[in-house]
Structure 1
């Protein structure tokens, strides 16, 4: 059973797990995966019709928690505890809700202090008691005449009184600011923990060809020893990575990768014993996976130099969803002013691809607009197949709904 401290405008915190407003969805999924002994079941819901307009929702049904992520930034903006009977909640004053002793309106006021009189929603028949960054929703009695509001003498602070026994909350909501409608646009420093926070990836073009990428991101810098505000303040960086750069150059520019990944046909090389040295000569490439930047960098095995970039949008419904932070990018297409972005749709970039095909005097103008179907094994992939479109330097992987899943630049 989960045991959390409730912190308004921040989130839920325990020794094993923290759910903090502003955390990217892939980081939350990784944290839940690490707590598999505590979290019994995790469900992910998203809109197949409007994936970029409807929230991504992670539900913990055994613990009665819903996590709402803004679809474009993919940052956690709302935490909802909808079942208080399976979770222990505490404030700085101690436990105020636990199984078989759930919170009521009086316990909530005791835990978080007096507040303004609540708001009654006649349509949903819910009474909402609000603090900054926190609200409790209580079911209203059938006879609303039993609701009485009493005020502290000489102030405007009030509380709701019930003639019968006080009700148990239907839900508790944690958010930023004064309203649940307020959006979160940045990642809090408390969850960065040495990682890079992506801002924008742009292509570097020379003589009509993409020669590298400019990567802009926030990261913690070495702060002044005398600084009291923060030992490691955030600083914005811009690093340029070119085709042909060495592994040392990339490590110096972006830091250590989240993971070093060999191609699938090379993973088992370590088990080949004495033959591994001979077989090593046939190896070709390996990846630096930067999950927090939403990108992979492919190196040639023999030269240890950059050969390819892969940018991930982390769109729901894709095989890799939940692994990467969403990468925001702008990639030049051919000699035109058109740019391929993380928000581009299939119809938007196909015209630019056709123009590139024409400029390159391709045998068929439609070559770039004819997709290659990428169908992963059904045992590994529960999602639909994807389609790949390309030019002589770019391959775009697209879902059925036209959203870009990844962009490969070589």
Structure 2
């Protein structure tokens, strides 16, 4: 027998386990907007509550919204670019598999034995604007099985107090009481403080990390920044991994192994989508790997998305907006940006060969080498990761 779901409504904030903006307990010391990565991690931990999860995404784009279907009751919509929880939909309130109890401020609204009706919503939340649905700041109640809110459209029978609520939708509060664009990004708010805003890649140099609410970016320089610097600027990594895989050395023209790299170790900042390879002798950063967290790839969900952009050279000394290529742009555009007119060397990689039981529709990726960078590219021409060295 599946356990009962006891869910409380928090308008503009969240619904039950899932919060549009609150502290996420499994990542210490920092505050994060609930992301696709943190949500799937939570679902793994609470698999007894949500055993049936479907991930819906567009395999040909890195910035279309992703939907998690937690059957039969919940749909979680994540924004396409930042992969942040944008909207929560609760449906099939009377489906007993599992049974759902819905409450607001400690008062029961709905259960398998108590149907949520128009009159119940009005008693709990008060009056609102006329329309087909009952809309309040941060929450709306629909009497239809699907479809967007229809504000201003008068119900065919607005006096029917017994109309049954079919769906409850939680989103950010909108001061103008306008419906949210489901394709938009989550608006910046206090809960996003210290979350990673962007990572500006400078080939041969390193990466500048900007965080919400922090005035100056953190600058990580190849061959300069030390392991201690990373600890001071970014906190402790979630994992330290000692390098054991040296298979790529077979492709080197100089077969003598570099002890500075072979004895190195990785600082894995999964919450930022970044790995740092650190020298085993000098303890400075030798390589930086930034992950795009693209659904359908072998490394999907290992890392939170890193919103990286490769920055080019400014046109002159007064150019404060140098050109950039973002993670969601096509490989052909990024390749031309890095190396105009040249075809970089290519190697094939199938990560599923090392993961027993992992099968993917398109498991193979390509590794393409440039001067100072390597891109891992999917069959859909999306860049899954960029490595700086």
State the TM-score, normalized to the length of structure 2.
Answer: 0.76
Could you give the per-residue CA deviations for residues 355-381 of structure 1, whole angstroms, max 9, x where no partner exists?
3xx8xxxxxx53x1x421111235354
Matched, 1:375 2:356: no
Specify the alignment match of 2:135 in structure 1: 130
Matching of residues 6-405 of structure 1 within 5 Å: 6-13=9-16, 17-20=17-20, 23-53=34-64, 55-62=65-72, 64-85=73-94, 86-92=99-105, 94-119=107-132, 128-139=133-144, 147-149=156-158, 160-161=159-160, 166-176=162-172, 177=174, 178=177, 179-181=179-181, 183-186=184-187, 188-190=189-191, 196-204=194-202, 210-218=204-212, 234-244=213-223, 245-263=225-243, 284-332=263-311, 339-355=324-340, 365-366=342-343, 368=344, 370-378=345-353, 379=356, 381-383=358-360, 384=362, 385-405=364-384
Deviation, structure 1 residue 66:
0.2
Specify the alignment match of 1:277 in structure 2: none
Give the 3 Å change call, closer, same or farther, for CA 248–332 of structure 1 in structure 2.
same
Deviation, structure 1 residue 265:
5.3
Contact kept, 8 Å, 1:197 with 1:292, in 2: the verdict is no
Deviation, structure 1 residue 40:
2.2
Give the 3 Å change call, closer, same or farther, for CA 7–46 of structure 1 in structure 2.
same
Contact kept, 8 Å, 1:78 with 1:180, in 2: the verdict is no
Matched, 1:4 2:7: yes
Helix, strand or coil: the match of 2:268?
A: strand
Could you give the per-residue CA deviations for residues 279-307 of structure 1, whole angstroms, max 9, x where no partner exists?
xx996222111223221111122332211
Could you give the per-residue CA deviations for residues 198-225 of structure 1, whole angstroms, max 9, x where no partner exists?
1222234xxxx6122222113xxxxxxx
Deviation, structure 1 residue 330:
2.6
Give the 3 Å change call, closer, same or farther, for CA 148–350 of structure 1 in structure 2.
closer
When you count strand as a share of all residues, which structure comes out higher? 1
Could you give the per-residue CA deviations for residues 98-140 of structure 1, whole angstroms, max 9, x where no partner exists?
1232312222222222222332xxxxxxxx2211221111149
1: distance between equivalents of 2:191 and 2:310?
Answer: 32
Helix, strand or coil: the match of 1:72?
A: coil
When you count helix as a share of all residues, which structure comes out higher? 1
User: Which has the greater radius of gyration?
Assistant: 1
Could you give the per-residue CA deviations for residues 227-265 of structure 1, whole angstroms, max 9, x where no partner exists?
xxxxxxx43341111123221111112221222233465
> Comparing both chains, which one has the higher relative contact order based on Cα–Cα distances under 8 Å and sequence gaps of 6 or more?
2
Contact kept, 8 Å, 1:390 with 1:396, in 2: the verdict is yes
Contact kept, 8 Å, 2:20 with 2:171, in 1: the verdict is no
Could you give the per-residue CA deviations for residues 161-217 of structure 1, whole angstroms, max 9, x where no partner exists?
25xxx243221111122313274435654476xxx411222234xxxx612222211
Gaps of 5+ in 2: 22-32, 146-154, 247-259, 316-321
Deviation, structure 1 residue 65:
0.2
1: distance between equivalents of 2:40 and 2:240?
Answer: 20
Paired residues in the alignment total 334
2: distance between equivalents of 1:317 and 1:9?
Answer: 30
Task: After superposing the two structures, state which structure 1 stretch, 287-296 or 67-76, moved more.
Answer: 287-296
Give the 3 Å change call, closer, same or farther, for CA 138–203 of structure 1 in structure 2.
closer
Gaps of 5+ in 1: 120-127, 141-145, 150-159, 219-233, 267-280, 359-364
Helix, strand or coil: the match of 1:108?
A: helix
State the TM-score, normalized to the length of structure 1.
Answer: 0.73
CA RMSD of aligned residues (A): 3.0
Contact kept, 8 Å, 1:19 with 1:28, in 2: the verdict is no
Specify the alignment match of 2:319 in structure 1: none
